[in-house]
Structure 1
């Protein structure tokens, strides 16, 4: 099954993405990475004969893979076109999930709503302005 799965993955990768990398995963499946679209597809044997489990996910910063966002079981007898359709549907579902999820670190709101100048900052600004005006007046009156 592994050799057959690799051939199917190679054909599928050519249909889906021009640029891709393929490798075997720990479970004996095949992973197709599309770095330019920051997505991955995993093909692995499923429970029944002639069936494969298709999983898709994102590629994170640094090249690590995020957990699968969508998965389905597909029949190998359907052919590469049908399998490509399943993959495209799963990739679309994963993209929708990624865009509706809140970005990491943005869950809590900061108590500050905008940039505000505090009262101590205004005191410093007034002191500097007063010193400048004082120096100007002293210089023009000739006492310096």
Structure 2
């Protein structure tokens, strides 16, 4: 069974990603890692003839794997193009689950729970209007300019003493 899984995984990896790593996992299955897309796919034996459990997940920082986000049982006798279609759908689900929810109408959160309702403030209403601009600027501050000037003076003094100073 491992030989069939390995062969199918190698063909599948070639169809899905140019850059990939195929290796055997502890349970007797095969893992395909796509480091550049930060995703993984595994094929594991199910006990049924010519069937495998196909799982997909994402790679975390440092190269560790996150738990599978989605899984499905596939028929290994199916053409590789059909298996690749299933994998692409699963990888799209993994990518969608990895995206953080934004805004109040973004849908269920990662844990599958609906988003919390915003807390309502009791008391006097605030005046609506334009927000005050932030006080910080991205320009170089006075302290930084002072450091740059002092470094420049030190470099100029060294150059003068080495190359142009009086010849004691």
- So what's the TM-score if we normalise by structure 2? 0.59
Match of 1:19 in 2: 19
Q: How does 1:118-133 map to 2 (within 5 A)?
A: none
Aligned counterparts of 2:16 and 2:78: Cα–Cα separation in 1: 16
Q: Identify unmatched segments of 5+ residues in structure 1.
A: 104-115, 118-144
Match of 1:124 in 2: none
Q: How much is the aligned-residue C-alpha RMSD, in angstroms? A: 2.1
Match of 1:9 in 2: 9
State the shift of 1:45 in Å. 1.0
Moved over 3 A (4+): 100-103
Q: How does 1:90-129 map to 2 (within 5 A)?
A: 90-100=90-100
State the shift of 1:48 in Å. 1.8
State the shift of 1:77 in Å. 1.6
Q: How does 1:75-90 map to 2 (within 5 A)?
A: 75-90=75-90
Aligned counterparts of 2:14 and 2:65: Cα–Cα separation in 1: 21
1:98-121 deviation digits (Å, cap 9, x = unpaired): 114669xxxxxxxxxxxx99xxxx
State the shift of 1:47 in Å. 3.5
1:69-119 deviation digits (Å, cap 9, x = unpaired): 11111111211011101100100111111114669xxxxxxxxxxxx99xx
Q: Identify unmatched segments of 5+ residues in structure 2.
A: 102-108, 111-133, 136-168
Q: How does 1:42-81 map to 2 (within 5 A)?
A: 42-81=42-81
- So what's the TM-score if we normalise by structure 1? 0.68
> 1 or 2, which has the higher helix percentage?
1
